[in-house]
């Protein structure tokens, strides 16, 4: 990159917030997916105005810019495909305003997700979206990916908690979208366009999130099955019985054993599947719901159903689920984690389909995930250096996406399209759907400079 441009970046961000050394670029060349492309420069924003100045400079000089939170994304979203500048947001971490009376908190978008709850808890409130990466992901990354998590079944996902946001548009304009009011219909629902925008439409710098009262009581249980089918059917039957647990997580035998090898969380190694189920609310209601869950679990021939007796037992159950991905990552040299999602009633078909696909292609798969909202994470375990094995896994993944679409599901429930699922988006939304996305992108970013090459390609005429 031209020295004059680097000098301008130093003038905007300060010397301590600009990296150019080759070895520094390595840390910003990948996320939790598989691509590695080094940027030319990394800048750390500390306020909104800097971000605006950066985008004006990028537009003048035709330089691609890729926003980055903590790089924990699972679809390649923060990888700088066309190099240029990585805009790191993780130094914008301030809490701007905590308003318990209106159950709102306004933060800078580089704050770590789990930093919100201790503040909210001071007033008996909590922030429900709870991705497995809560301890390191940023709120900006959560918004850009519309992150879900373990509590999505009852409490929804990030989009359900975004009230208002400050966004820097690709050409540098600063806009404030949404409102702190519960109701707001003055203009289009523009803030919604930026939730799930994967860093393609603008840079979120500040956000006002809504909070909920902490549930009075929780009941957590582990249901153990010697049949995958019965476990999957149980998920569907619990919802059909009118119970909405706050958490209903699924783990198969491969995942259970990977966890136990990684960290002893007391999971039964010989089970074909377990369900981690939690109900919450008023004490009587949480207890009543877990009793109904037990009935459904027993009707589906579970071999055991144990309710955690204390917080320590509960924390142990959840610890197992939270390390599932890391544990599976230690089984083989590489993994390919998917998040194809179906309606809950189709979950048994989905689980059967995944097993069938894995068997036909002779690939190793661990299945875990947020079964309560139909969002499974089939995780293919492989050695990428083995080209023949990689080809079999690629074929299995392609079939998996087609299965999800055939079951009226989606190729991604929460990890986004990025680079990983870009080849499959056309199958999901069709050519008119892609054209609509391109039109929106072109309107906001006519030179295609903000996170170019992700999610879909732009026609050559508007490329930078």
Ligand X SMILES: Cc1cc2nc3c(=O)[nH]c(=O)nc-3n(C[C@H](O)[C@H](O)[C@H](O)COP(=O)(O)OP(=O)(O)OC[C@H]3O[C@@H](n4cnc5c(N)ncnc54)[C@H](O)[C@@H]3O)c2cc1C
Q: Which one of 415, 421, 441, 447 is in contact with ligand X (CB under 6 A)?
A: 415
Our CB check for ligand X shows the closer of 215 and 369 to be: 369
Residues numbered 423 to 452 that lie near ligand X (CB under 6 A) are 451
Largest CA distance in the chain: 71
- Number of residues engaging ligand X in binding (CB under 6 A): 36
Q: Which of residues 156-185 bind ligand X (CB under 6 A)?
A: none
What residues contact 46, with CB distance under 8 A and at least 6 apart? 13, 14, 17, 91, 92
The answer to whether 361 and 396 are in contact (CB under 8 A) is yes
* 109-142 burial code (b ≥16 CB/10 A, e <16): bbbbbebbbebbeebebbbbbbbbbbeebbbbbb
CA distance 248 to 241: 14
Q: Draw the binding track, 196-235, toward ligand X (x: CB under 6 A; -: no contact).
A: --xx---xx-------------------------------
Phi/psi of residue 183, each to 5°? -110, 140
Kindly report the number of other CB atoms within 10 A of residue 430's CB atom. 11
DSSP state of 112: B
Choice from 25, 65, 85, 109 touching ligand X (CB under 6 A) = 109
Q: DSSP H helical segments within 109-180, as ranges?
A: 116-121, 139-145, 152-155
- Residue 145 interacts with ligand X (CB under 6 A): yes or no: yes
Contact letters (x/-) for ligand X, 34-73, by CB under 6 A? --------------------------------xxxxxxxx
Phi, psi of 359 (to 5 degrees): -65, -45
Which residue, 142 or 230, is less far from ligand X as judged by CB?
142
**Choices 132-140, 255-263, 290-298, 440-448; region in contact with ligand X by CB under 6 A:** 132-140
Q: Which is nearer to ligand X, 73 or 215 (CB)?
A: 73
**Smallest distance from the beta carbon of 110 to ligand X, in angstroms?**
7
Residue with Cβ nearer ligand X (143 or 256): 143
> For ligand X, which is the closer residue by CB, 204 or 293?
204
* DSSP bridge partners of 75: none
Q: Which residues bind ligand X (CB under 6 A)?
A: 31-32, 66-74, 77-78, 89, 109, 131-133, 137-138, 140-142, 144-145, 147-149, 198-199, 203-204, 325, 414-415, 451
């Amino acid at each position: 990159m031209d020295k004059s441009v680097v000098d301008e970046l130093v003038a905007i961000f300060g010397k301590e917030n600009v990296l150019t050394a080759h070895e520094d670029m390595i840390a910003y060349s990948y996320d939790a997916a598989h691509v590695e492309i080094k940027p030319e420069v990394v800048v750390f924003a500390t306020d909104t105005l800097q971000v605006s100045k950066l985008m004006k400079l990028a537009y003048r000089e035709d330089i691609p810019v890729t926003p980055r939170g903590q790089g924990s994304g699972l679809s390649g979203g923060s990888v700088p495909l066309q190099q240029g500048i990585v805009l790191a947001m993780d130094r914008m971490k301030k809490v701007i305003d905590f308003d318990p009376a209106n159950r709102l908190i306004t933060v800078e978008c580089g704050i770590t997700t789990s930093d919100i709850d201790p503040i909210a808890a001071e007033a008996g409130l909590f922030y429900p979206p709870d991705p497995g990466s809560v301890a390191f992901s940023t709120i900006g990354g959560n918004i850009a990916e519309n992150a879900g998590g373990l509590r999505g079944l009852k409490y929804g996902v990030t989009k359900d908690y975004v009230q208002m946001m400050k966004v820097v548009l690709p050409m540098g304009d600063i806009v404030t979208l949404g409102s702190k009011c519960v109701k707001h219909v003055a203009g289009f629902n523009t803030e919604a366009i930026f939730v799930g925008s994967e860093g393609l439409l603008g840079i979120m710098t500040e956000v006002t999130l809504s909070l909920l009262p902490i549930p009075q009581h929780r009941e957590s249980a582990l249901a153990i099955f010697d049949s995958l089918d019965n476990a999957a059917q149980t998920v569907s039957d619990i919802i059909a019985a009118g119970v909405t647990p706050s958490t209903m997580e699924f783990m198969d035998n491969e995942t259970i054993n990977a966890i136990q090898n990684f960290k002893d969380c007391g999971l039964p190694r010989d089970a074909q599947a377990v369900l981690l189920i939690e109900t919450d609310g008023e004490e009587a209601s949480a207890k009543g719901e877990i009793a109904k869950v037990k009935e459904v679990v027993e009707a589906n021939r579970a071999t055991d159903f144990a309710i955690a007796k204390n917080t320590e037992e509960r924390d142990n159950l959840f610890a197992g689920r939270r390390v599932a991905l890391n544990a599976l990552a230690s089984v083989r040299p590489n993994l390919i984690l998917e998040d194809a999602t179906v309606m809950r009633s189709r979950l048994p078909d989905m689980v059967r389909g995944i097993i069938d696909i894995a068997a036909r292609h002779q690939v190793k798969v661990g299945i875990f995930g947020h079964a309560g909202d139909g969002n499974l994470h089939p995780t293919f375990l492989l050695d990428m250096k083995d080209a023949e094995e990689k080809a079999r896994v690629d074929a299995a993944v392609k079939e998996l996406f087609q299965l999800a679409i055939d079951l009226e599901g989606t190729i991604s429930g929460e990890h986004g399209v990025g680079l990983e699922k870009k080849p499959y988006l056309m199958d999901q939304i069709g050519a008119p759907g892609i054209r609509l996305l391109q039109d929106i992108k072109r309107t906001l970013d006519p030179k295609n400079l903000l996170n170019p090459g992700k999610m879909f390609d732009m026609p050559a005429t508007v490329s930078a």
